[in-house]
Amino acid sequence: MNCICCEFPQISTVQCINRRLLVFHCRYDMAPEYMARDLQWAADTDSRQRLRSSSSQQLIVPRTRLFIVGDRAFGAAAACIWNSLPPSVTSAATLNSFKKHLKTHLFHCSYPSL
Protein backbone atom coordinates (compact mmCIF):
# COMPACT_ATOMS: atom_id res chain seq x y z
CA MET A 1 0.00 0.00 0.00
CA ASN A 2 1.33 3.42 -0.91
CA CYS A 3 1.87 6.11 1.64
CA ILE A 4 -0.76 8.83 1.38
CA CYS A 5 1.93 11.46 1.99
CA CYS A 6 3.62 10.34 -1.23
CA GLU A 7 0.38 11.03 -3.11
CA PHE A 8 0.05 14.57 -1.74
CA PRO A 9 3.41 16.36 -2.08
CA GLN A 10 2.20 19.45 -0.23
CA ILE A 11 2.25 17.39 3.00
CA SER A 12 5.77 17.25 4.40
CA THR A 13 7.09 14.12 6.09
CA VAL A 14 7.18 15.87 9.47
CA GLN A 15 3.51 16.87 9.12
CA CYS A 16 2.70 13.32 8.08
CA ILE A 17 4.38 11.85 11.16
CA ASN A 18 2.75 14.41 13.48
CA ARG A 19 -0.76 13.73 12.17
CA ARG A 20 -0.37 9.99 12.57
CA LEU A 21 1.04 10.42 16.08
CA LEU A 22 -1.97 12.55 16.95
CA VAL A 23 -4.34 9.79 15.81
CA PHE A 24 -2.35 7.27 17.86
CA HIS A 25 -2.74 9.56 20.89
CA CYS A 26 -6.48 9.75 20.25
CA ARG A 27 -6.71 5.95 20.05
CA TYR A 28 -5.14 5.45 23.47
CA ASP A 29 -6.82 8.45 25.20
CA MET A 30 -3.66 10.55 25.35
CA ALA A 31 -5.14 13.40 23.26
CA PRO A 32 -7.70 16.05 24.20
CA GLU A 33 -11.29 14.84 24.24
CA TYR A 34 -12.45 17.29 21.56
CA MET A 35 -10.02 15.73 19.06
CA ALA A 36 -10.76 12.10 19.93
CA ARG A 37 -14.48 12.83 19.57
CA ASP A 38 -14.00 13.50 15.82
CA LEU A 39 -12.67 9.99 15.16
CA GLN A 40 -14.95 6.98 14.81
CA TRP A 41 -13.30 3.56 14.96
CA ALA A 42 -14.77 0.76 12.85
CA ALA A 43 -14.53 -1.68 15.76
CA ASP A 44 -16.62 0.61 17.99
CA THR A 45 -19.54 0.94 15.56
CA ASP A 46 -22.48 -1.37 16.35
CA SER A 47 -23.39 -1.96 12.71
CA ARG A 48 -19.88 -3.24 11.96
CA GLN A 49 -19.50 -5.72 14.81
CA ARG A 50 -19.85 -8.76 12.52
CA LEU A 51 -17.65 -7.47 9.70
CA ARG A 52 -13.95 -8.14 9.19
CA SER A 53 -13.23 -4.46 9.71
CA SER A 54 -14.30 -4.78 13.35
CA SER A 55 -11.06 -6.59 14.14
CA SER A 56 -8.89 -4.02 12.35
CA GLN A 57 -7.57 -0.70 13.59
CA GLN A 58 -9.36 1.25 10.83
CA LEU A 59 -11.20 4.54 11.15
CA ILE A 60 -14.47 5.36 9.43
CA VAL A 61 -13.93 8.20 6.94
CA PRO A 62 -16.84 10.63 7.31
CA ARG A 63 -18.53 11.92 4.18
CA THR A 64 -17.93 15.58 3.44
CA ARG A 65 -19.82 17.87 1.12
CA LEU A 66 -17.06 20.33 0.31
CA PHE A 67 -13.80 19.01 -1.09
CA ILE A 68 -11.71 22.06 -0.23
CA VAL A 69 -12.86 22.53 3.37
CA GLY A 70 -14.49 19.25 4.40
CA ASP A 71 -11.68 16.91 3.41
CA ARG A 72 -9.21 19.00 5.39
CA ALA A 73 -11.22 18.72 8.61
CA PHE A 74 -9.45 16.70 11.28
CA GLY A 75 -11.92 13.82 11.32
CA ALA A 76 -11.77 13.22 7.56
CA ALA A 77 -8.06 13.89 7.04
CA ALA A 78 -6.93 11.88 10.06
CA ALA A 79 -9.07 8.90 9.07
CA CYS A 80 -7.71 8.92 5.53
CA ILE A 81 -4.10 9.20 6.69
CA TRP A 82 -4.49 6.53 9.40
CA ASN A 83 -6.22 4.04 7.09
CA SER A 84 -3.34 4.31 4.62
CA LEU A 85 -1.01 2.66 7.15
CA PRO A 86 -0.40 -1.10 7.06
CA PRO A 87 -1.70 -3.21 9.97
CA SER A 88 1.84 -3.79 11.25
CA VAL A 89 2.02 -0.07 12.10
CA THR A 90 -1.50 0.51 13.39
CA SER A 91 -1.43 -2.51 15.70
CA ALA A 92 1.50 -1.18 17.73
CA ALA A 93 0.67 -1.17 21.43
CA THR A 94 3.15 1.43 22.70
CA LEU A 95 4.13 4.85 21.47
CA ASN A 96 7.78 3.88 20.98
CA SER A 97 6.93 0.81 18.89
CA PHE A 98 4.45 2.87 16.86
CA LYS A 99 7.12 5.49 16.09
CA LYS A 100 9.60 2.78 15.11
CA HIS A 101 7.17 1.03 12.76
CA LEU A 102 5.94 4.33 11.32
CA LYS A 103 9.44 5.56 10.49
CA THR A 104 10.29 2.21 8.93
CA HIS A 105 7.13 2.36 6.81
CA LEU A 106 7.84 5.92 5.67
CA PHE A 107 11.43 4.98 4.84
CA HIS A 108 10.22 2.12 2.64
CA CYS A 109 7.74 4.48 0.93
CA SER A 110 10.52 6.97 0.20
CA TYR A 111 13.12 4.40 -0.90
CA PRO A 112 11.24 1.38 -2.31
CA SER A 113 14.30 -0.10 -4.07
CA LEU A 114 16.33 -0.55 -0.85
Query: Smallest Cα–Cα separation from 17: which of 5, 30, 31?
Result: 5
What's at 77, amino acid-wise? A
100 in a structural domain: no
DSSP per residue over 10-36, as a string?
A: TS-HHHHHHHHHHHHHHHTT-S-HHHH
113 in a structural domain: no
pTM of the model: 0.74
pLDDT tens across the length of the chain (114 residues)? 445 554 555 567 787 788 899 999 998 899 899 888 888 887 776 665 556 555 567 888 777 776 666 666 778 888 888 888 999 999 999 999 999 999 899 888 888 887
106 in a structural domain: no
104 in a structural domain: no
Enclosing domain of residue 77? 13-88
The count of structural domains within the chain is 1
Q: Which residues pair with 59 in a beta bridge?
A: 41
110 in a structural domain: no
26 in a structural domain: yes
Residue 2 is predicted with a pLDDT of: 47
